[in-house]
Amino acid sequence: MLGLVMLAGISWACAWHVHRTILAQRIEHQALLAAQEQMNREKAVASALRSTVNETVHTRERLDRYAHTDVVSTASAIEAAGKAAGASARVIDVSQVPDRDSGLASATGAHSIGYTVDARGSFQQLMTLLQLLEVLPAPAVIDQFSLARNLEPGAKSGSWRMNLRLRLVTSEYML
């Protein structure tokens, strides 16, 4: 009987040892899987970051190039946009625009230059001009805008007149 009890004790000890070994392997395997998942997430984040950097490099270069555009070149580009739209556009005033957020200029080095534009043409030509001004090669905002029939003597029938105030953001004081 004693042999049977010893055999049962040894069997239980072996079973307990096998159970603990399997449990330890399972815990180790789960830890390895968790570490692998964490490494995969980190690789995905790094890959997404590299992709974003690569995708925006051209945009950042273009913005940097246009952030240093001078007043005369920008005024010429605005007038050329009018010509491309089939309208007559003239820059009649350029001035430094006070920064709405005084901390913005000091924190980012950004400044605003305002362009007052007077344009004449058909309604469609003026709408085309607006679309072209939206895609100027520099960050721009239309601050004020008015559109009215051109009632001046000698104006063509169906002619319109547009006045707008365009604010461009630049990295330098240009005036």
In sequence order, the 6+-apart residues with CB closer than 8 A to the CB of 38 are none
Percent of the residues in the chain that have a pLDDT greater than 90, as a whole number: 26
170 has a pLDDT exceeding 80: no
- Domain end residue (candidates: 50, 66, 82): 66
117 has a pLDDT exceeding 70: yes
| Pair 162, 90 in one domain | yes
Beta bridge partners of 96: 113
| Pair 62, 111 in one domain | no
pTM of the predicted model as reported, rounded to 2 decimal places? 0.55
Number of domains present in the structure of the chain? 2
Mean pLDDT of the chain: 81
> Is residue 83 situated within a structural domain?
yes
